[in-house]
Amino acid sequence: MNIDMIRAANGRLAGQKRVTPLLNAPLLDRLVGRKLYVKAECLQYTGSFKFRGGFSAVSALDGKTRERGVLAYSSGNHAQGVALAAAMHGVPAVIIMPADAPEMKIANTRAYGAEVVLYDRAGGESREAVGEKLTVERGMTLIRPYDEPQVIAGQGTVGLEIAEQAAEAGIEDADVLVCCGGGGLTSGIALALAAEAPGLRARPCEPEGFDDTARSLAAGSIQGNDRPSGSICDAIVTPAPGQLTFPIMRALCGPGLVVTDDEVLRAMALAWQHLKIVVEPGGAAALAAAIFHGDRVAGEAVIAVATGGNVDRAMFIRALERGGA
């Protein structure tokens, strides 16, 4: 896994992805006590950065392999990214999703043309086991959500854009806070920044109780979570950092940051109030860390990646009622 793969993925994604904006709001700057910039990946196709990795992985397959179709497992955002990428290439997709995933994410995945297979993660079913079984049965190519080189490469294109946009804004020294599940986005951004903007440092951000990456970085070895679900940040709840992603994060990232569900809800409300964007809970963890844990962040400015905006109506209302002021 290297910067050349990220640059190649960026070439394949040219004209296919949105170059999402780096947003700023003076009132948020005042709240944080430094310049705060938000990379709005919630405005990406399918509503999250996951489209980048999905398209990168599907487009990298040779023609005959791609024609047999692709398979993925996801709580929703990777599902939608792979489903749209497969549809854009005219190939079938099967997506394995937890039965308790947000209804909107399941519905959208089906709307992109994918076949959805539900499993019971609360009951202890393993999505990896379901995925391996279907891969054998159907002869499709499994595209993992984060421990997949071409997925990491696609997600790393976010880092290339941040490096370019930060340079345009005159930002030379900043922590880049990234909502982190298995680490595909975080490791991809870290690789891109190391090559293109060495004054910027990636920092993984996770929900309280599911801070496997923060604990792994502190311990120097991969640590898992005690339970498979239970956070409103469903998009970034994973069993543990990836075997491919963790060594990259250990080498290139700063310490992890951990946020509470309440902080996430307040960050969602503040994003809507000041930036006019809709962010889902898992996509707001980095912004919550920037706003409420600024004492643990270094740099003249801070950049937070708003990774996704696929939030159910009820959850978004809950965030707005909690308020961000």
Crossing angle of helices 245-252/212-219, nearest 10°? 60
DSSP letters for 162-223: HHHHHHHHT--SEEEEEE-SSSHHHHHHHHHHHHH-TTEEEEEEEETT--HHHHHHHHTS--
pLDDT of 233 reads: 94
Q: Which amino acid is at 310?
A: N
Whole-model pTM over 0.85: yes
pLDDT of 76 reads: 80
* Distance of alpha carbon 16 from alpha carbon 113, whole angstroms: 18
CATH fold for the domain made of 3-49+149-323: Rossmann fold (3.40.50)
Written as tens digits, the pLDDT of the chain (325 aa) is 899 999 999 999 999 999 999 999 999 999 999 999 999 999 999 999 999 999 999 999 999 999 999 999 887 889 899 999 999 999 999 999 888 887 888 999 999 999 999 988 767 777 778 887 888 888 899 999 899 999 999 999 999 999 999 999 999 999 999 999 999 999 999 999 999 999 999 999 999 999 999 999 999 999 999 888 889 998 999 899 999 999 999 999 999 999 999 999 999 999 999 999 999 999 999 999 999 999 999 999 999 999 999 999 999 999 999 886 5
Answer whether 3-49+149-323 and 51-142 agree in fold. yes
* Distance of alpha carbon 193 from alpha carbon 21, whole angstroms: 17
Domain boundaries along the sequence of the chain? 3-49+149-323, 51-142
Q: Which class is domain 51-142? A: alpha beta
Residues 87-115 as b/e (b if ≥16 CB within 10 A, e otherwise) read: bbbebbbbbbbbeebbebbbebbbebebe
